[in-house]
Amino acid sequence: MSKRLTVFAVLAAFFLFASGGALALTLTQAKIMALEKNHDIRVWMLGVDAARGEHKSARGAYDPEISFMASYFDTKTPTASSLIEDGIVNSEVFSFGSALSGRLPTGTFYKLYDLDVSRTETDSPLESINPSWTASLGFSVGQELLRGFDISSNRVSVVLSRKNRDISVYEFNRVVAKTLFDLEKSYWGTVAAARDRDLEKKAYELALDLERRTRIRVEVGVLPRVALTQAQSESAARKVRMINSENAYAAAMDSLKNLLVIPFDESIKLPEMMDSALPAYEPLEEAAAAAAAFDKRPELRRAQQEMEKAKALKTFYSRQRLPRLTVEGRLEYLGLGGSENPDRLIFGGQENSPLRFADSSHAYDSIIDRDFPSWSVTGKLSFPIFGRKSWGDYSKARADYDRSVIEYEKQKDAVSLEVRNAIRELESSHRRVEATRLSKSLAREVLGNEEEKFKEGLSTTREILEAQRDLISAEASYISALASHRIAQADLERAKGTMIESNSFLIESNSDIGPYLEVD
Question: Chunked in runs of 10, what are the mean pLDDT values of the chain (520 residues)?
Answer: 44 45 84 92 94 94 95 88 79 95 93 94 85 94 90 90 95 94 94 93 90 88 86 92 95 94 90 71 84 93 95 93 94 90 68 68 87 94 90 95 96 95 93 92 91 81 86 92 93 93 85 85
- The model's pTM is 0.82
- Going from the C-alpha of 161 to that of each of 23, 55, 143, 175, the distances in angstroms are 45, 5, 25, 21
The pLDDT value given to residue 348: 57
Q: Assign 383 to helix, strand or coil.
A: coil
- Which one-letter DSSP state was computed for residue 26? -
Q: Give the pLDDT score at 277.
A: 62
Question: SS3 breakdown of the chain: % helix, strand, coil, rounded to 5?
Answer: 60, 20, 20
Query: CB of 490 within 8 A of CB of 184?
Result: yes
Q: What is the pLDDT of residue 98?
A: 96
Q: What is the dihedral of CA 101, 104, 106, 110, to 10 degrees?
A: -10
Task: Look up residue 90 and give its amino acid.
Answer: N
- The answer to whether 321 touches 391, Cβ cutoff 8 Å, is yes
What is the structure's pLDDT at 351?
58
Residue whose C-alpha is closest to residue 70's, from 132, 111, 115: 115
Cα angle for residues 516, 517, 520 (degrees, 5° grid): 75
Give the Cα separation of 329 and 477 in Å (integer): 84
Secondary structure of 278-304 as H, E, C letters: CCCCCCCCHHHHHHHHHHHCHHHHHHH
* CA nearest to 298, candidates 386, 146, 180: 180
Instruction: Judge contact between 371 and 332, C-beta under 8 A.
Output: no
Tell me the C-alpha distance between 305 and 311, whole Å: 10
Q: In the prediction, which pLDDT does 21 show?
A: 61
Could you tell me whether strands 65-78 and 88-103 are parallel, antiparallel, or unpaired per DSSP bridges? antiparallel
Rounded to whole angstroms, the Cα distance separating 330 from 269 reads 78
What's the pLDDT at 350? 56
What confidence score (pLDDT) does residue 11 get? 47
Strand arrangement, sheet containing 108-122: 65-78, 88-103, 108-122, 129-146, 324-340, 373-382
